[in-house]
Amino acid sequence: MPATVPDLPDPADALAKAGRRLDARGLAPATAGNYSARLADGTILITRSGAHKGRLDAAQFMRVATDGTAIDAGRSSAETLLHCLIYAVDPAAGAVLHTHSVAGTVLSRALAGRDGIELAGYELLKIFPGVATHEASVTLPLVDNSQDMPALAALLRPILLAQERLVPAFYIRGHGLYAWGPTLDAAEAMVEGCEFLLACAWEEVKLRGGADDQSDPI
């Protein structure tokens, strides 16, 4: 049974409030980012294209079908298909948040040629499902950026499906983070945890003087 967020009396208002919090943390510059929630009827509520995420209101959200087809009038986020992909591959996903941090963006570019961001030894790894200790390693899938959303979704689908334990986050190189959870609160916590870990990893890369050795874990 797919997860939904019917516990939110007003999903658009809840997503707008999350947007203001993420914007205040510097994770939504300009009009970057997009947010969504799976509704009780199975449709997806998502931000419209071009809306500033720190100044969202109900009018800046719209519903789309599971294949991204618009239900309400207007144009949804250009990355709607990536949200649809996440809901399709993870029945537990109830909300998806896409953010942009300086640390994550630069780190992903520094890891040219890698297909994952390995995070190891951090206490906050316990935010990930099934991880109960800092003595662990979690790898976020890392893919190259593209403006072709159908192609990007097609690239990501087998990567996500191949995971033995699905990591509820991935990174698009030079672009940003996608993270999700069964509830909006869980999705926001996953974003905060991932962005913190990415910032720590970038600081470690800088201390080592770069990330040229592809065999070195972060």
Residues belonging to the binding site for Zn(2+) are: 98, 100
Residue 177 to residue 35: CA distance in whole angstroms = 12
Structure tokens belonging to residue 98? 């896409």
Residue 97 to residue 200: CA distance in whole angstroms = 20
Contact 33, 99 (CB under 8 A): yes
Which residue type, as a one-letter code, is found at position 190? Answer: M
Question: Angle CA(101)–CA(97)–CA(29) in degrees, nearest 5?
Answer: 35
Residues belonging to the binding site are 98, 100
| DSSP-derived 3-state class of residue 66 | coil
